[in-house]
Amino acid sequence: MRWDIFCKVIDNHGDAGVCWRLACALAAEEEAVRLWIDDPSALAWMAPAGHPGVRVITWTESGAAREAAAGAPPDVLIEAFGCDPAPELIARFAQPLPPGAPRRVWLNLEYLSAEPYVERLHGLPSPVFRGPGDGLTKYFFYPGFTEATGGLLRENDLMARRAAFDRADWLARQGIPWNGERLVCLFCYEPPALEALLARFEQAGEPTRLLVTAGRAARALSPGPPQRGALAIHWLPYLPQGEFDHLLWACDLNFVRGEDSLVRALWAGAPLVWQIYPQDDDAHHEKLEAFLRWLEAPPELRRLHHLWNGIARGALPDLRRPALAPWQAAVAGARDRLLLQDGLLSRLRRFIAQKS
């Protein structure tokens, strides 16, 4: 089948990350995939080797017109996060099918949430009444954490690779010094409790090495020495997607942000703290609460999420290793529940077969 995935990069690279991961998963199953992206610059570090089965097209008005004139329409059009594909391409997609050909399918790949509305809206049709797609129907496809949703992206060999991962070897190859101290990944925006977290690690009775990802996390840290009491800070370069997985696998505690890294942290199985993307109307508060309910987060992990996301104020909970054991159990249990379900790609294929 021919798949076109459309992506507009809003900020923070998360949309590009999700779309690239989906494109690679499809190509790994020998599907023909074109990724239309308006700003492919992040792929230079996110996927420096590319993928032989994914054709990346810089999405411009002139480029859309050329591709629409030259190429066959896709069998499946995926509009990521309501990004409105170019009218020329919609017009090509809407052209009459040859006799006996399966119907083309148009999906709106939505944002990830654990809120109840996801199960209600997943798979619902959305008729198109104007523009070049007039008369067509697009369908909502919601990723999610339950059987009644679109599931989560997961490669078939992911857990086997996770089990075979050698932490010491990876750290040595990355030039990250390690003497058995606790490793913490910091991938965040600008959390209100960041300075309190640094102070807690600095004054702790056990050594901690904070691995700070490039970009906003690195910029959020106040300038200072790399060694602060019991805390050592190591700044990382931008990491390709595979190496970011390795970072999460190497760490004993993962601070993550957005959607793609949350999912990868769940697969990693270590205790995690999620900074959700903030919204002006505070709608992200309920989204965070829904996730914490699904995770069955212990009270102290729930409180840290509230502090980390600026929903509450107060002292951070205990972050020593013994205190993290219930957090570890919650994440491991959540991962076990997810592994009993089909992944997003399997559910996507079934949905396409039903609608085509």
| Active-site hit among 4, 15, 67, 245 | 15
Q: Is the pLDDT of residue 114 over 80?
A: yes
* Structure confidence at residue 72 (pLDDT): 81
pTM equals 0.95
Question: Is residue 239 predicted with pLDDT exceeding 80?
Answer: yes
pLDDT in tens, 153-162: 999 999 999 9
Domains of the chain, CATH where assigned: 2-151+342-355 (3.40.50), 158-339 (3.40.50)
Region 320-345: mean pLDDT is 97
Catalytic residue (choose from 67, 88, 259, 260):
259
- The overall average pLDDT reported for the chain is 94
For the cut 90, the answer to whether the pLDDT of residue 97 exceeds it is no
Binned at pLDDT 50, 70 and 90, residue 61 comes out as low
Examine the residue annotation and report whether 119 is marked as an active-site residue of this protein. Answer: no
* Range 288-293 average pLDDT: 98
- Which pLDDT score, from 0 to 100, does residue 68 have? 66
Q: Is the pLDDT of residue 13 over 90?
A: no
259 labelled catalytic: yes
Segment 83-95 shows an average pLDDT of 87
Cα–Cα dist 197/202, whole Å: 9
Q: Is the pLDDT of residue 69 over 80?
A: no
pLDDT in tens, 162-210: 999 999 999 999 999 999 999 999 999 999 999 999 999 999 889 999 9
Confidence of residue 115 (pLDDT cuts 50, 70, 90): very high
Dist. CA 240–CA 42, nearest whole Å: 10
